[in-house]
Structure 1
């Protein structure tokens, strides 16, 4: 019998462990730990003297583009944003170092979650060489110090599978809803106003928004909110408010898209498909069209 070795460039992905997903203790531990990794939502007023909200959004969108082009695991971007916000909650930072900080956050998050982490050299290229390898290493050390090496943060992505596995869904529906919910989680990570919500609430709100967009049936919303309340223990009004906030953010982003918005008036499912273009850029080869570096963060000055 001939043996054939088939090599592939695709990284090996770990299978989901049904024991961890079905064990209620895992969910309860996540709920108990999530507050520990919450950033201070008021750090723009209390800590930062130079960085503004719009600067964070610019850098967040750039980081999302980099993570998508590098085909990172879905949890890399939310985790890197958690690092960035926690760092900015305790350390006053110049706007000229914000992109460097973002690169360091992605560097560490990819090491923690990726089989093949993002190379430091690629991150330097993505910044249009506005940073150097040594600057990235120094910022990585500073970031680890400020975070006290506590890197296994709880993010909304950690709750998605826990929530979806407890809903009465078949495998195909679960995969579709999870894909859309992951898009909403990434969208929330780019917006400052969602820093006040715990990860479990963002995850539950993203699942609710995904199912609502795909079904658009009012009575299902009420049953779903009740089920999400039973799973997470979050109050119904809070869940409803978070879901509505996500849907409003989606609507605002859709309204700012290019003139081809006529296609956005189709079905709710197609609206969710269009959302992917807001949070994910097309794949490119060999960095030919690498994500635009947010130089405005460094160039804009106030009188």
Structure 2
């Protein structure tokens, strides 16, 4: 006797997204082979070249900075998991190493990188409709879907990459001073995100960038001694202390510049508000911040750095 069976798989829609993070796996933390494997694999997915002026004739470093900062803002507002943004930037740069595009497609490429990275590193990936809304619908969902396939093909389906994020927990969970300050992990990730928007770090080994950001965060928070931190970072990443110190110097210069520019921007906005908006024309060329609904907020002309660098101490 035949029976009618309902085989429809209905998607469960949760009212609130569970954003809790899994605890570090003690087995992986205890096995030194994990770090050794990360170190051996990291060079395979570093962008192959500095594509400005060679592969990309129409794209300049400042354009990458603008789009990368926008991508970081989207990740922050959508509460993406911390590993999503570094992976998206890796996809973004590797694509530009092999496929020339014009500047008008740069934000579209950023959307595709975020979409693909969120599918790999998140339980709840971003949607094409949300990403389209963040471009004020200048990029359509259909374009994002089409370019996602183009990106995957240009990356030759190699859509897993080692990023600086992958080294942070592996290092902090293995050192005595890793739990001295609860803010150390957060500050290290913040520095990695900020540095990922900078062209100067585009071809740097992820392990070296992670070591520099951890060292900078530990110094700002007065975690352990500089000598102990440096010894442990050299021991786990196999990089010279001279290289790590140089990265720390560049990181601190970049963050200090970000803080200074943000403070100047806030002062200008306060002056503008005090004069009843008489300096409005001064900000007309600043990129507008687009909400998830696609509407622009006239009070927030210039996007802020989402992971607030003002809470980083040196």
Same fold per superposition (TM over 0.5):
yes
Pick from 17, 34, 39: which aligns with 1:10? 17
Pick from 124, 137, 141: which aligns with 1:129? 137
Note if contact 1:22-1:162 (Cα within 8 Å) is conserved in structure 2: no
Q: Which residue in 2 is equivalent to 1:182?
A: 189
Q: Which residue in 1 is equivalent to 2:271?
A: none
Q: Are residue 156 (structure 1) and residue 164 (structure 2) matched?
A: yes
Shifted more, 128-137 versus 71-80: the winner is 128-137
Q: Are residue 201 (structure 1) and residue 208 (structure 2) matched?
A: yes
Note if contact 2:168-2:210 (Cα within 8 Å) is conserved in structure 1: yes
Note if contact 2:89-2:196 (Cα within 8 Å) is conserved in structure 1: yes
Cα displacement (A) at 1:16: 2.2
Q: How does 1:118-267 map to 2 (within 5 A)?
A: 118-169=126-177, 171=179, 173=181, 175-215=182-222, 220-259=225-264
Note if contact 2:137-2:294 (Cα within 8 Å) is conserved in structure 1: no
Q: Which of 1 and 2 has greater Rg?
A: 2
Summarize deviations over 1:242-281 as a string: whole Å, max 9, x none: 11111111111111122468xxxxxxxxxxxxxxxxxxxx
Note if contact 1:62-1:292 (Cα within 8 Å) is conserved in structure 2: no
Cα displacement (A) at 1:123: 0.6
Q: How many residues align?
A: 264
Q: Are residue 104 (structure 1) and residue 109 (structure 2) matched?
A: no
Pick from 39, 45, 52: which aligns with 2:60? 52
Q: Are residue 32 (structure 1) and residue 40 (structure 2) matched?
A: yes
Q: Which residue in 1 is equivalent to 2:274?
A: none
Unmatched tracts of structure 1, length 5 or more: 1-6, 262-281, 295-303
Unmatched tracts of structure 2, length 5 or more: 1-13, 268-288, 304-314
Higher helix share: 1
Note if contact 2:133-2:293 (Cα within 8 Å) is conserved in structure 1: no
Note if contact 1:62-1:293 (Cα within 8 Å) is conserved in structure 2: no
Cα displacement (A) at 1:131: 1.2
Q: Kindly tell me: are residues 113 and 94 of structure 1, through their superposed partners in 2, closer, same or farther at Cα, counting changes over 3 Å?
A: same
Note if contact 1:84-1:102 (Cα within 8 Å) is conserved in structure 2: yes
CA distance in 2, matches of 1:285, 1:122: 6
CA distance in 1, matches of 2:49, 2:247: 16
Higher RCO (CA-CA < 8 Å; seq separation 6+): 1
Structure 1 counterpart SS, 2:176: coil
CA distance in 2, matches of 1:51, 1:155: 24
Q: Which residue in 2 is equivalent to 1:269?
A: none
Q: Are residue 69 (structure 1) and residue 102 (structure 2) matched?
A: no
Q: Kindly tell me: are residues 132 and 244 of structure 1, through their superposed partners in 2, closer, same or farther at Cα, counting changes over 3 Å?
A: same
Q: Kindly tell me: are residues 137 and 19 of structure 1, through their superposed partners in 2, closer, same or farther at Cα, counting changes over 3 Å?
A: same
Cα displacement (A) at 1:10: 2.9
CA distance in 2, matches of 1:43, 1:111: 26
Q: Kindly tell me: are residues 287 and 21 of structure 1, through their superposed partners in 2, closer, same or farther at Cα, counting changes over 3 Å?
A: farther
Cα displacement (A) at 1:8: 5.9
CA distance in 2, matches of 1:66, 1:51: 22
Q: Which residue in 2 is equivalent to 1:22?
A: 30
